[in-house]
């Protein structure tokens, strides 16, 4: 199937960690263990998106970059909105 071995770099592992964090957050949300407006869920999403963005700086893909950039922006928006709601 593969002609040679796959060489993974530190940024590949960073991207994989980001994907796992994002999917883990979504799983915990679906399982009812996290709330969508809760800080842990939002931080997992923002951190996951950031990790994927870091990996994309070394192996760029425009569509993935746009998706992860917007994913992080929406996550940060949710964090700010939740903090304001809790204070007010």
For the segment 57-72, the average pLDDT, to the nearest whole number, is 97
In a domain, residue 55? The reply is: yes
Check whether 4 has a pLDDT greater than 80. no
Answer whether residue 29 is part of any domain.
Answer: yes
Q: Total structural domains in the chain?
A: 1
Checking if the pLDDT of 15 tops 60, the result is yes
Q: Is 36 a member of any domain?
A: yes
pLDDT > 90 in the chain, percent: 86
Cα(30)–Cα(2) distance, integer angstroms = 35
Q: Which residue has the tokens 């700010």?
A: 80
Domain of residue 42: give its range.
10-87
Residue 4 falls within a domain, yes or no?
Answer: no
Tell whether 32 is covered by a domain.
yes
Q: What is the 3-state secondary structure (H, E, C) of the chain?
A: CCCCCCCCCHHHHHHHHHHHHHHHHHHHHHCCCCCCCCHHHHHHHHHHHHHHHHHHCCCCCHHHHHHHHHHHHHHHHHHHHHHHHHHC
What gap in Å lies between CA 34 and CA 37, rounded to an integer? 9
More confident residue, 56 or 86: 56
């Amino acid at each position: 199937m593969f002609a040679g071995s796959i060489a993974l770099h530190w940024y590949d592992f960073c991207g994989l960690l980001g994907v796992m964090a994002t999917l883990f957050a979504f799983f915990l949300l679906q399982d009812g263990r996290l709330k969508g407006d809760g800080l842990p869920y939002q931080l997992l999403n923002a951190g996951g998106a950031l990790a994927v963005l870091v990996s994309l700086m070394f192996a760029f893909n425009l569509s993935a970059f746009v998706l992860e950039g917007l994913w992080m922006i929406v996550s940060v928006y949710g964090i700010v909105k939740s903090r304001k709601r809790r204070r007010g």
